[in-house]
Amino acid sequence: MHVVCMTKKATANKLGALGLALVDAMAEGCGDLSPSATAALLTLRHHASLGTTELAGVVGLSQPACTRMVDKLVADGLVSRLPASGRIVPIALTDEGRRLGELIQARRLGVLRDMVEVLDKKDRKDFDRLLDKLLAAAVRDPGHARRICRLCDRRACGEGACPSPMPEPPPAE
């Protein structure tokens, strides 16, 4: 016998469990990459290049930790350092990094699509509306929006349709 418990605490608990289930399932598609390295590749898919300090803010690392991560990604042939622009050394994906980023993004979206497949069309429409509401409430500021959308395929939401708008980075100094 299944008893439905509709308390805020139970709903929050279920949301947390679902969040972890999704994180675990998506992590399986990243191979040997750390979550930060995965976020770096997927973030760089949407930008021609970023400086290490800005990339660190998006992926949630300190600048020195991000530099070490970038060093490893350079050694693995996934990113390259471009010529310096003043004090900023832009980071960009290599062709291999772009291919891996596309593969990881396809796996990520596949996991998420599979999860949503259990919903019928009406439930999906309702769920999408509720997700927009929850995401809009979750975003504290533009920097936070960039951080929570670090794994997103920004094309998937459609132009201007993102519930947690992520502004373009300022031009490199």
Q: What domains are there in the chain, each with its CATH number?
A: 8-148 (1.10.10.10)
Residue 57 CA: distances (Å) to CA of 19, 43, 52, 132, 136: 22, 11, 9, 24, 20
Phi/psi at 94 (nearest 5 deg)? -85, 175
Q: Which pLDDT does position 160 carry in this prediction?
A: 57
> In angstroms, rounded to a whole number, what is the distance separating the alpha carbons of residues 103 and 97?
10
Q: Which pLDDT does position 2 carry in this prediction?
A: 55
Mean pLDDT split into 10-residue runs, the chain, 173 residues? 71 89 86 92 89 92 95 97 88 96 92 92 94 86 80 73 53 44
pTM: predicted TM-score of the whole model, two decimal places: 0.79
Q: Which pLDDT does position 3 carry in this prediction?
A: 57
Strands 79-81 and 91-93: antiparallel
Q: Which pLDDT does position 172 carry in this prediction?
A: 45
- Is residue 66 within a helix (H) or strand (E), and if so which, with residue range? helix 63-75
pLDDT in tens, 37-82: 999 999 999 888 899 999 999 899 999 999 999 999 999 999 999 9
> CA torsion 47→105→80→92, rounded to 10°?
0
CB 161 within 8 A of CB 129: no
